[in-house]
């Protein structure tokens, strides 16, 4: 499980840097500067729990699995964001986004979390 945690933390970091770099480009910054926070590594590392969940639901349609992962990511993001916000350490703030909840989660990120869950599922099962 330790290796899976490290793998998920690393993949999560890379995906966030890629995503924020694309977002930077779309906002007119040709440097495509991507960024993340050291605090995100353990949060992304928790995606390692997808593998045991996948083992139980692998027979289910991908749409069901993706929706389940999305709900899990929203829950993890809300809990971790709430704790970090309480200590003034939350590296993200979605307060200005239209489909946000308490500045901690963005509902318009559901397709991103859906896809990420299925991606992590593939990465984790291939590395077994």
pLDDT digit string (tens) for the chain, length 128 residues? 899 899 999 999 999 999 899 999 999 999 999 999 999 999 999 888 888 888 899 899 999 999 999 999 999 999 999 999 999 999 999 999 999 999 999 999 999 999 999 998 888 888 66
Q: Are strands 105-106 and 100-101 parallel, antiparallel or unpaired?
A: antiparallel
Q: How many domains does the chain have?
A: 1
Structural domain that includes position 78: 2-126
Output the furthest CA–CA distance in the chain (Å, rounded).
44
Helix or strand (DSSP H, E) at 29: none
């Amino acid at each position: 499980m330790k290796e899976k945690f490290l793998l998920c933390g690393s993949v999560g970091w890379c995906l966030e840097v890629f995503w924020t770099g694309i977002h930077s480009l779309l906002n007119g910054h040709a440097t495509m500067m991507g960024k993340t926070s050291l605090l995100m590594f353990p949060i992304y590392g928790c995606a390692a729990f997808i593998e045991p969940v996948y083992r139980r639901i692998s027979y289910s349609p991908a749409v069901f699995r993706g929706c389940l992962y999305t709900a899990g990511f929203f829950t993890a993001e809300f809990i971790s964001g709430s704790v970090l916000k309480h200590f003034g350490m939350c590296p993200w703030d979605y307060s200005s986004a239209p489909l946000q909840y308490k500045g901690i989660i963005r509902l318009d990120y559901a397709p991103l979390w859906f896809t990420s869950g299925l991606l992590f599922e593939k990465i984790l099962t291939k590395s077994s």
